[in-house]
Amino acid sequence: MTAHEYNFDGLVGPTHNYSGLSFGNIASTQNQGAVANPREAALQGLAKMKALMDLGFKQGVFAPQQRPDLATLRRLGFGGSDRAVLEAAARESRAIFNSTLSASSMWTANAATVSPSANTADGRVHFSVANLAQNFHRSIEHPTTARVLRAMFPGDTHFAHHAALPATPAFGDEGAANHTRFCPVIGAPGVEFFVYGCVGFDGRAPRPQKYPARQSLEASQAIARRHGLSSARSVFAQQNPDAIDQGVFHNDVIAVGHRNVLFCHEQAFLDRAATHAELREKCGDGFTIVEVPAARVSVADAVGTYLFNSQLLSKPGGGIAIVVPQECRNHPRVSAVLDELVASGGPIDQALVFDLRQSMMNGGGPACLRLRVELNAAEAAATNPGVILTPALHAALCDWVGRHYRDRMADADLLDPELPAQVCTALDELTRILQLGSVYPFQLDA
């Protein structure tokens, strides 16, 4: 049965801003207080989606979340009317207030870990929503993410949905940003590669010293258990803690895999040799590791350009394209490595470059913006057709963005009392465009 890899890209939400909320994510910290342009951000994302659709790749759209998250503010003790809640939160803690306005759900690689039916014990596609427990602004995403995923992949014949793991550091889970599936061809059984930053229940095990490790081994193991993955087809490897301390807050900032190719930096893993050996053994013949030495690209340059936060896509006519952000081309050494890569005669033979500056300034590159879901024909037929990109849907979404999005979001603009209602109006219309049904809390009183 023909299967395809679908990329579901996060549609950037109307409150996109730079609040410096993610400690350990260097771009997020450095750009705190910069003026964002939500309209441009959303259109940059839509341009990437359209270009990839036009090239024949399967492309979907993942809806943004309702912000501000008034229910969370009420849970934290802010009371009264909606306006009173927002005013009190902004007065008492701009960190809390801004967190409830983040558009961070755009990075859908962090929405969930997905195992295709070819790998799972019960032959269904399994989704585990990520708890994103390390950062408050991201930890409030999972309830809506779960509803949106169920609206995208409805019913339990083909799809199994798992709730977020307990939200505590020992089970910190950042979804597909630390997970890769290898297989000879899309749709065939393969190996799932889980990369963790720390061992939650072992305080003496290696861990980063400066920045948090967001993904725990225990979280990755729990996901493999509930998805019904066999140990012969799972590999668990620890991320290099020194790399995390240099700003590699997710494995997808330093490695990316697709089919039987792993493209990674030399310093991605704590035990490079053992990790490579286990992958080679379990993935079998044809598995290729394309590794970039630190002497060519430093970890700092990898973090600065997001060379490895790329998408690898099997082209309909053969060969693999690498989707990179413009920042890779702006950096002479990284650009040269990219040119060598596509000219090397290896599996990756074309570079596609996109301007994703608005997302990049918050530490989100092409790979962060997409959640991969492998679907066979029956699963694709069971997927909500409203979220699959078509030329008409692309045009409708660009029009929707043009009518509802601001072109400027400075820190002070987050205080605008009109903003919550504007977001609701926009998202209400979006649920109809994407045929999602009721996935948002809404309920504004003012």
Q: Single out the residue of 10, 38, 363, 366 in contact with ligand SUG (rule: CB under 6 A).
A: 363
Compute the least distance from the CB of residue 9 to ligand SUG, in Å.
Answer: 12
Minimum CB distance to ligand SUG, residue 446 (Å)? 25
> Is 368 among the residues known to form the active site?
yes
Query: Which candidate in 368, 379, 394, 404 is catalytic?
Result: 368
Is there a catalytic annotation at residue 142?
no
**Stated length of the chain:** 446
Q: Which is nearest to 159 in space by CA: 193, 112, 108, 215?
A: 112
* Minimum distance, C-beta of residue 133 to ligand SUG, in the bound complex (Å): 12
Q: How far apart are CA 312 and CA 116, in angstroms?
A: 17
Q: How far apart are CA 95 and CA 21, in angstroms?
A: 8
Of residues 133 and 177, the one with the C-beta less far from ligand SUG? 177
Q: Which residues in 164-223 contact ligand SUG (CB under 6 A)? A: 177
Q: Segment 248-267, which members bind ligand SUG (CB under 6 A)?
A: 249-250, 252-253
Exposure string (b/e) for 259-269, b if CB count within 10 Å is 16 or more? bbbbbbbbbbb
Is 174 considered catalytic here?
yes
Tokens of 281: 């053994």
Does 371 participate in binding ligand SUG (rule CB under 6 A)? Answer: no
Question: What is the arrangement of strands in the sheet containing 234-238, beginning at the earlier edge strand?
Answer: 179-182, 191-196, 234-238
Closest contact distance (angstroms) between CB of 426 and ligand SUG is: 20
Phi and psi (nearest 5°) for 275? -65, -45
**Is-contact 146 246, C-beta < 8 A?**
no
138 touches 104 (CB < 8 A): yes
Of residues 110, 131, 145, 246, which one binds ligand SUG by CB under 6 A?
110
Select from 343, 304, 303, 301 the least CA-distant residue to 322.
343
Closest CB to ligand SUG among 138 and 394? 138
DSSP letter at 289 equals E
Q: Report if residue 15 touches ligand SUG, rule: CB under 6 A.
A: no
Residues 16-45 that bind ligand SUG (CB under 6 A): 18-22, 25, 28
Provide the pairing of β-strand 159-162 with 179-182: unpaired
CA contacts within 13 A on the Cβ side of 237 = 25
Residue 237: name the closest of 259, 212, 264, 258 by CA. 264
Complex with ligand SUG: residue 118 or 253, whichever CB lies closer: 253
Nearest CA-CA partner of 129 in 148, 106, 116: 148
User: How near is the Cβ of 103 to ligand SUG at its closest, in Å?
Assistant: 8
Catalytic residue among 16, 158, 179, 250: 250
Between residues 109 and 426, which has the closer beta carbon with respect to ligand SUG?
Answer: 109
Stretch that binds ligand SUG, among 220-228, 270-278, 323-331, 363-371 (CB under 6 A): 363-371
Determine the interface stretch with ligand SUG among 71-79, 100-108, 186-194, 432-440 (rule: CB under 6 A). Answer: 100-108
Minimum distance, C-beta of residue 107 to ligand SUG, in the bound complex (Å): 4
CB nearer to ligand SUG: pick between 173 and 379: 173
Angle of CA points 120, 126, 128, to nearest 5°: 130
Minimum distance of ligand SUG from residue 377's CB (angstroms) = 29
* Residue 372 found at the interface with ligand SUG (CB under 6 A): no
Q: What is the dihedral of CA 133, 120, 321, 260, to 10 degrees?
A: 110
Q: Give the residues lining the site for ligand SUG (CB under 6 A).
A: 18-22, 25, 28, 102, 104, 107, 109-110, 138, 177, 249-250, 252-253, 362-364, 368
Show which residues are catalytic: 174, 250, 368
